[in-house]
Chain A
């Protein structure tokens, strides 16, 4: 059936259950497997942003000779997981480098938490993302993507290298595997639940 935009007969959702859209962030350096992980667990779709360049991003980009450039296009990994018709997870994967923080600031508002995807061969790439989430008190976990041929590090060695709190989950994953990607998200939600229970309950039960 085809209906016009002004036709009140179809297409309007009923006012029933409250629709809940929940954001989960995925940060990591280039080539660490963010796109692969999002694609393993959800239907991945392209999402572009075109953002005005701030002075900071100008400096970081060193756009000497391209002074006319005032916006930058950033591709995000965007995945959607419908848990129920009224409960949907939105995964946003963006580069973790400091010059992309202007995007993180918006993505982080109200987010459930974050996954820092790291490659043990380039651990330093995950420093900025970890700094960011720690500073803003956004709950996060670290997932080590196990690339073929990469030496398997002990999670505790990584904890020491990244200077992470003892109770912060660090897990190994295979970003290509749906089950493994699911496990990463489950670990994050469990961690957020545990963190939440440590806080005093406000109001009257």
Chain B
């Protein structure tokens, strides 16, 4: 069972995201940085949609199916920088998980390169 401290923190912290203030003038997001093609997936955490700005809700909805930062930015038609800040907000709230694809972390291995080659030839 979760401790009372943990339970009360969420309620007492108040809205982390100011409604209708897309980024509150921020140009850099908090927390670990993530790549343009990092995958974004909504977590199972309960989302209080009324406390979120409409743009945050739109982004969260798109993340219900696994997607990427670039895909979301293109879909909601907001600048990438703004989408990054929204995603970082949602991550802080525990509503999305952002993972850098394993390929990004290291050099692309030959096996993957051959798979890409075969995939392109089959297009």
Contacts and interface: CB of A to CB of B under 8 A. Distances in A.
A140 interface: no
Contacts, number: 131
- Number of contact residues on B: which range applies? 35 or more
A18 interface: yes
A90 B74 CA distance: 12
B36 A106 contact: yes
A5 B60 contact: yes
B95 to A, nearest CB: 8
B114 interface: yes
A45 interface: yes
Contacts of A71: 27, 81
Interface of A: 5-6, 8, 10-13, 18-23, 41, 45-52, 71, 73, 78, 80-81, 83-84, 87, 89-90, 92, 106-107, 109-110, 112, 182, 185-186, 189-190, 192-193, 196-197
Interface of B: 27, 35-39, 41-42, 44-47, 49, 60-61, 64-66, 68, 70-71, 73-75, 77-82, 101-105, 107-108, 110, 112-117, 119-123
Please name the 3 residue pairs, one residue from A and one from B, whose CB atoms are nearest each other, closest first.
A83-B119, A50-B79, A110-B104
5 contacts: A19-B66, A71-B81, A80-B71, A90-B37, A193-B110
Given A45-B74, A78-B70, A87-B119, 18 more contacts: A5-B47, A5-B49, A18-B101, A21-B101, A22-B108, A46-B77, A47-B74, A47-B80, A83-B115, A83-B116, A84-B115, A87-B112, A109-B35, A112-B108, A189-B116, A192-B108, A192-B113, A196-B107
